[in-house]
Amino acid sequence: MVEAIKRFLDFLAREKGFSNNTIAAYRNDLGQLATFVAAETGQKGDLDWARLDRPLLLNYLLTLREKGYSPATTARKVAATRSFLAFVVAKGMLTNNPAHGLSAPRVDKSLPVAISVAEVEALLRQPAKHDAPEAKRDRAMLELLYATGIRVTELVSLNLSDINLRAGFVRCLGKGSKERIIPVHRKAAQAVRAYLDEARRHLLGSSQENALFLNRRGQRLTRQGFWLILKGYAKKANITTEISPHILRHSIATHLLHSGRMNLRELQEFLGHANISTTQVYTQVRAQSPR
């Protein structure tokens, strides 16, 4: 079963273009399934696929509930199981799919959280109070993230060749390796230019790293590193909402739509949403007022 999971993950990466984060989530969920199946069937080697039947899967679902997983987490694990077993059937390892029609717990979708324009402005002012190379980098990242609405994974994946400040755009690869060309307004472009001219070489040192945004060791900044940076500035800006990179993305989407600067179709393209229904949720979102 472990080998089948590896083949499935390779399929998702190479043919479906899933992101590294999505692949990691599938690997974790299917690893848990494999551990459960091995324990229940007593098999330590390759799985006898005939042993993987409907009662065993229902028992797996019951175990997830007993462990206290949230409906959203359980639904994700069930979805991973269904996709994996459909792949196994398609490859001829299993004749019938025991997960066919397997239901997951209903997940009530909550509206995205957005902070106010005033809170965003307070957040963006924080790194400008300092002159260190890291502060110039942080200001460039925050300005670029809010100006373009790109995802944090897209932000930290940017290379030097992906941004053209003279033409005023950034190129990023979104979900499914879909390329987007996004305009960068003057203020964000100025912050990135200041970082490139005055700070990046100090972080780079002797490294040959091609990433746009670097950590203090001259390596590509990680998602986790950016998250910690963002939380630190949010605290300094007295933002009480639990902040995350995605909340900034929700915030710019909300601000653009409700200010009339973009309509739904334009916002869909801007955010890189495959379906307009994903974008429509922002018609119901209102930025939270500062407390």
Kindly report, residue by residue over 147-172, the tens digit of the pLDDT. 888 888 889 999 999 999 999 999 98
Q: Which of 77, 180, 200, 249 is catalytic?
A: 249
Q: Which of 16, 217, 246, 261 is catalytic?
A: 246
Instruction: State how far the Cα of 268 lies from the Cα of 280, in Å rounded to an integer.
Output: 9
Q: Are 218 and 203 in contact (CB under 8 A)?
A: yes
Q: Are 287 and 115 in contact (CB under 8 A)?
A: yes
SS3 16: coil
pTM for this prediction? 0.63
Q: Give the closest residue to 223 by CA, choosing from 69, 70, 73, 24.
A: 24
What letters, b where the CB count within 10 A reaches 16 and e where it falls short, cover 181-216?
ebebeeebbebbebbbeebbeebeeeeebebbbbbe
Active site residue 282: yes
**Tokens representing residue 180 in the block:** 């987007």
Q: Which of 82, 175, 193, 202 is catalytic?
A: 175
Q: Are 85 and 94 in contact (CB under 8 A)?
A: yes
Q: Are 238 and 232 in contact (CB under 8 A)?
A: no
Active site residue 250: no
Domains of the chain: 2-90 (1.10.150), 117-283 (1.10.443.10)
pLDDT band at 290 (very low <50, low <70, confident <90, very high): very low
Q: Is the pLDDT of residue 189 over 80?
A: yes
**Tokens representing residue 152 in the block:** 């944090």
Check residue 190 and give its pLDDT: 95
Active site residue 202: no
Active site residue 175: yes
pLDDT band at 104 (very low <50, low <70, confident <90, very high): low
Active site residue 178: no
Q: Which of 76, 200, 250, 273 is catalytic?
A: 273
Check residue 291 and give its pLDDT: 41
DSSP-assigned beta bridge partners for residue 183: 169
Q: Which of 136, 137, 139, 151 is catalytic?
A: 151
Instruction: State how far the Cα of 63 lies from the Cα of 69, in Å rounded to an integer.
Output: 10
Q: What is the pLDDT of residues 127-152, one digit of tens each?
A: 989 989 999 999 999 999 988 888 88
Q: Is the pLDDT of residue 43 over 70?
A: no
Active site residue 255: no
Kind plus residue range of the DSSP H or E element containing 170: strand 169-173
